Amino acid sequence: MDQRLPGIRPRLSLWSRLDGFARHSFPAAGTVLLLLIVAAPLGLPGQAQLLVAASIACVFFWSLFRPSCMSPPIVFVIGLLADLLGFAPVGVNVLTLLATHGLAIRWRRFLTRQGFFLVWLAFVLVAMGAASLQWLLTCVLVLALLPGWTVLFQAALAAGLYPLLAVLLTRVHQSLAEPEPS
């Protein structure tokens, strides 16, 4: 027997609907904005790896804590954008980010109940796997054996960047979850 009683529900105002849309689209829009900022010609050494590290960290975080806002089609678009901005062979970041998303979704039930250290350790493993996958795919697509140290550099950069981004993204996540009372 259904416990819900029929009744009239008030329609959401335009501002309420826009607020809901903004809250739902922020993880993807924020990730895209971060990628555009990191891809700006700043002249940083290892800037291409920083772009990949930032995208992996954001996709992992949002896939873990807001999976409805970071769906596979959105991850695909973010990966394609990362490929185009980082001048990587098209598809490398797409597959890497989709694999990262899949692992985060797979481990979500366990990791969301754990402390930061265990989540970060899981991310380090994912970042190492993602860097290795990206290196392998790039080697295959350019038909050349690239230096292996880039895998370690990219994984270390992602592992070091994640705690900084996690602090910022956690605060954003909490503010998205708790709207201001009207």
pLDDT by residue (tens digit) across 45-88? 878 889 999 999 999 999 999 999 999 999 999 999 999 998 88
| Residues 116, 163: Cα–Cα separation, whole Å | 9
**Helix or strand run (H / E) with residue 43:** none
| Residues 39, 51: Cα–Cα separation, whole Å | 6
Task: Enumerate the domain spans of the chain.
Answer: 16-177
Task: Give the long-range contacts of residues 83-88, CB within 8 A, separation 24 or more.
Answer: 85/35, 85/36, 85/39, 85/51, 86/39, 86/48, 86/51, 86/52, 87/48, 88/48, 88/52, 88/134, 88/138
Q: Which pLDDT score is estimated for 20?
A: 81
pTM, rounded to two decimals: 0.87
pLDDT by residue (tens digit) across 146-164? 888 889 999 999 999 999 9
Average pLDDT over all residues of the chain? 89
Q: Looking at 69-115, list the stretches that DSSP marks H as alpha helix, in order from N- to C-terminal side.
A: 72-86, 92-111
pLDDT by residue (tens digit) across 83-124? 999 888 899 999 999 999 999 999 999 999 999 999 999 999
